[in-house]
Structure 1
């Protein structure tokens, strides 16, 4: 498992499973000849998108950013449509670190689309239960409201089985919240109406997790936003503002979906200066 230390925070990438989504949808209006040079694709023009939760350890707290694709919850049709060739192994990843799901104090949900929230629950003795029973689950109030009352479009990604078993654990915020000193969540809208990003600052050390405003390193261009975005113009403006702030502070950009990089730091020319590459494993496709 790859790790990164930023100030007093230690980040470890857990195995949350994988999806393969249409590259055209993931890059919106960007033409194929452009995006295909930035990110590999298969013969069906699908790109590999990890769903790897990030364990963040700060001040004795164990926190997880997003929950993975889940396990034993998708049917064969869903696995085929979403390109799920590998399901969540978060429990096994934590075990390698000497932890269990019971040791997780908080889950920071950037948003609640199925590829981020499906790992919040798991089947146990014929019913769905919380994957992280002792954790506070943070998300924006806007996102939580839509999760429970999706519209005709969003009902395809906001699933009842991902919120009902954990609703007693959810803690919401309006614009921002400080989870522990220096670690904050900020509501941005854009990708979803309730979408949020995560920042951490400790002196001169910092990281930003832009979630699906910048899901991979290939989405660095502020104009390259997803066809899945509910408010793409908002995504563009929020992305540009957050990127400029992170560049100025020399922050690490950390990723949940990127199949090739876990984290990147850019130089003044917006080129890669430092990087944490993702190791490829025998189970990779």
Structure 2
């Protein structure tokens, strides 16, 4: 299990499963000869995208960022279409830390697309129940509203199976919210109308999780946005703002999807000055 330890904060990447999505869709209008130099692509034109939640302890609370692809939530057609070769095994990951899902206090959801939210619920028999029954689940009000009432485009990724049984656990916000001292969720829009990023600051150490407006290190260029983005110009504006601010502020960039890096720190010349590689 990869770990980033900075000061007295340790961030662990749990096994949340994997998807393989079309590379062209993941890089939008960027030509393949350009993006394929920065991120590996297979013979089906798919790129590997992990769905690995981040776990850490903060102010006495046990916190997750995102929830993974889930287990037993996808049918064979969905697994094929989304390139899911491995489902979540969060229980085993947590067990290595001496924990179980019941111990999680807070789950931070940048957005509620299926590849982030399937891990919030599980089947017990033919009934769906919460995976983290004692956790408060945070997401933006805009995201929560669309999750429950998707439009003709977004209904393919917002599934009732991922929200109906956790309704009582969800707490929403507008604009931005300091969830715990030093942890702030900021509504950016872009990838989805309700998409948010997460900022962490503790004892002078700073981290940023930009979620799906910057899903991998190869998406660092602000203009390299996804064809999946509902509002690409909003993504671009948010990337210009937050990438520049984070690099100038010497933040760690934390990733949920990146199959190469778990975390990266860049300097103002664009050079990688520190990193955590994913162990394959």
Q: TM-score, normalised by structure 2?
A: 0.99
Rounded to whole Å, the distance in 2 between the matches of 1:7 and 1:249 is 17
Shift of 1:73: 1.0
Shift of 1:7: 4.2
Q: Is residue 248–residue 267 contact of structure 2 (8 Å, CA) maintained in 1?
A: no
**Which residue of structure 1 lines up, in the alignment, with residue 229 of structure 2?**
229
Rounded to whole Å, the distance in 1 between the matches of 2:56 and 2:154 is 29
**Which residue of structure 2 lines up, in the alignment, with residue 273 of structure 1?**
273
Q: How does 1:1-285 map to 2 (within 5 A)?
A: 1-280=1-280
Rounded to whole Å, the distance in 2 between the matches of 1:271 and 1:239 is 18
Rounded to whole Å, the distance in 2 between the matches of 1:224 and 1:7 is 33
SS at match of 1:64: strand
Q: Is residue 10–residue 58 contact of structure 1 (8 Å, CA) maintained in 2?
A: no
SS at match of 1:84: coil
Shift of 1:244: 0.9
SS at match of 1:274: strand
SS at match of 2:248: helix
Shift of 1:201: 1.1
Rounded to whole Å, the distance in 1 between the matches of 2:242 and 2:7 is 20
SS at match of 2:193: coil
Rounded to whole Å, the distance in 2 between the matches of 1:202 and 1:56 is 12
Q: Is residue 17–residue 50 contact of structure 1 (8 Å, CA) maintained in 2?
A: yes
Rounded to whole Å, the distance in 2 between the matches of 1:215 and 1:164 is 27
Q: Is residue 28–residue 224 contact of structure 2 (8 Å, CA) maintained in 1?
A: yes
Shift of 1:86: 0.1
Q: TM-score, normalised by structure 1?
A: 0.97
Rounded to whole Å, the distance in 2 between the matches of 1:145 and 1:188 is 16
Listed one character per residue, the Cα deviations across residues 128-177 of structure 1 (whole Å, up to 9, x for unaligned) are 10000000000000000000000000000000000001001000000111
Rounded to whole Å, the distance in 1 between the matches of 2:56 and 2:8 is 10
The number of residues matched between the two structures is 280
Shift of 1:5: 2.4
Shift of 1:106: 0.6
Shift of 1:202: 2.0
Listed one character per residue, the Cα deviations across residues 4-30 of structure 1 (whole Å, up to 9, x for unaligned) are 123443210000000000000000000
Unaligned runs of at least 5 residues, structure 2: none
Q: Which moved more, 1:189-198 or 1:122-131?
A: 122-131
The CA RMSD measured in Å over matched residues stands at 0.8
**Which residue of structure 2 lines up, in the alignment, with residue 283 of structure 1?**
none
Rounded to whole Å, the distance in 1 between the matches of 2:56 and 2:199 is 12
SS at match of 1:78: helix
Rounded to whole Å, the distance in 1 between the matches of 2:226 and 2:7 is 32
Unaligned runs of at least 5 residues, structure 1: 281-285
Runs of 4 or more consecutive aligned structure 1 residues displaced over 6 Å after TM superposition:
none
Rounded to whole Å, the distance in 2 between the matches of 1:203 and 1:57 is 14
SS at match of 2:74: coil
Shift of 1:196: 0.2
SS at match of 1:80: helix
